[in-house]
Amino acid sequence: SAYYKAGGTGSSNSDKELAGMIDAARSETDVAKRAALYDQTVKRAHEQAYFVWLLNIEDIYGVSKRLVWPGRVDAKMLVSEMKLK
């Protein structure tokens, strides 16, 4: 919600209705109801196109058959996770 709620650290809008939806979801204690509220929140944010992803960078690595390393979805190359055969 830091990106979607007005006044958040990465806020992209001043949508008071969306802010109210986020507040309602934050204060709901029933897990199923909270999930439904967040689903509605995400749907509104998507419909209003507060974020439009314009670029998808592919990560391409050159590796050796001796290297045992599964790669990471966050593109970090942590040597501590790598092993040599």
Q: Is the pLDDT of residue 59 over 80?
A: no
Is residue 5 within 8 A of residue 11, CB to CB? The reply is yes
pTM of the model: 0.58
Q: Which is more confidently placed, 59 or 20?
A: 20
pLDDT of 10 reads 75
H helix intervals, 12-68: 16-27, 31-48
Q: Is the pLDDT of residue 1 over 70?
A: no
pLDDT digits (tens, 9 = 90+) for 22-55: 999 999 999 999 999 999 999 999 899 887 778 7
